Amino acid sequence: MQNRIRHAATRGSILLSSIVPERRIEIVSPNTARSIRIGTREQLMGLATAAMIAGWLTVGTVNMVSADAMAEQKAEAELVRMTAQVQALKADTAALKGTVATTAERIEARQKFLDALLTGKATGGDLAVLLPRNSRKVSAEVAAEAGVLAPFAALEQKQLAIVNKAAATAETRLRDAEALIGRLGLNPSRFVSQSQSRIAVGGPYIPAVAGDAPGADPRFAELFINWQRVGQIEEAMAAIPGFVPVRNFTFTSGYGFRYDPFSGRGAQHAGLDMAGAHGEPILASASGRVIRAERYAGYGNCVDVDHGKGIVTRYAHMSSIAVNLGDRVTVGQKLGGMGSTGRSTGTHLHFEVRIDGKAVNPRTFLEASSYILAFQQSPVGPQLASIQ
């Protein structure tokens, strides 16, 4: 066995010697000549060393390439991240601009509405057009963090304070009017229709887009509705007879049951008798339109004035009539002179108040005259204007 191994080794050595034969290198210089022998073993060892070095270089190169690729990937990732940040900043900036613009538009719309409302520059439908709308909220959190809306805060607070005061004034006005109307035995709904208090709007139906905030700003809408109601009630309360129709008089007969001065039998008296001097001016108790100006049955010379809302006043037994059918008259305007025409026992004014054609007690209205006139002569407009 050992012989076989030695024989194989000998054959391998001979093979290696044939592949990598022994080499001699002659080094010749001017003075000397030198010979170096490089055997097969030494050459194999050199080749092995060179291979190891080449391997190390290859691994190093691969590692360097791998490190460069990783660095490049990391740089690309950082670039992507920075690009995303830039886009986010752009979006935030656009949102801030949108929020500022929206806030400015909202404040401007509110101011136009308040100016028109408090100064009386617009009424009814014109004011409804100016009613500020709810605005879309665009990145409000971003805007709040950036503090870009700070310059608008004071303006908005002032506007909302005005709205609150105006709303309180309108509500107080409505309560006072309704209380006064109730004292007169009337229903406030006669003067303020709930259906008319709604905002008059219309147009085709268009579905809302996500993110929109359609509809009127609720605080301003409530103020507008109350303002409408105040306007209606003030206009309608001008129809309430609150002006005493004779300056100098004496009550001689009241409303309701009495004994008829001609027959002596019990009768229903539909008005008040107010005696005075012949020709004493008879004055309109409220503004309205003349619907009768003639001699009328037992009333003698008679004038009826329609004040609207189903309210009519009648002035009878007059000595003369100073108005014509269809005339528009104002509160306190002369209608004629006191007399004793028709079914009358002496110079006096027979004064009636009729609601929906039915006579009611005029004394209730005359006793509340100072309150009615005060309400009619102090419209809410100047009170609202003083809020600013």
**223 — pLDDT class (breaks 50, 70, 90):** confident
pLDDT of residue 210: 41
d(CA 191, CA 350): 27
| Long-range pairs of 104-109 with CB within 8 A, sequence gap ≥ 24 | 104/152, 105/135, 106/132, 106/135, 106/217, 107/152, 107/155, 107/156, 107/159, 109/133
pLDDT of residue 50: 55
Domains of the chain: 2-88 (no CATH), 94-237 (no CATH), 250-367 (2.70.70.10)
250: closest CA among 227, 276, 271? 276
Amino acid at 227: W
Beta bridge partners of 352: 314
pLDDT, tens only, 155-175 = 777 777 888 888 888 888 888
pLDDT, tens only, 236-289 = 788 899 999 999 999 988 887 666 665 566 667 889 999 999 999 999 999 999
pLDDT, tens only, 177-189 = 888 888 888 888 8
Q: Phi-psi category of 317—alpha, beta or left, where left has phi over 0 and alpha has psi -120 to 50?
A: left
d(CA 340, CA 301): 9
Amino acid at 364: T
Question: How confident is the prediction for the chain on average, in pLDDT?
Answer: 74
Structure tokens at 347: 């110079």
Residue 2 has pLDDT above 50, yes or no: yes
Backbone angles phi, psi at 283, to 5 degrees: -115, 145
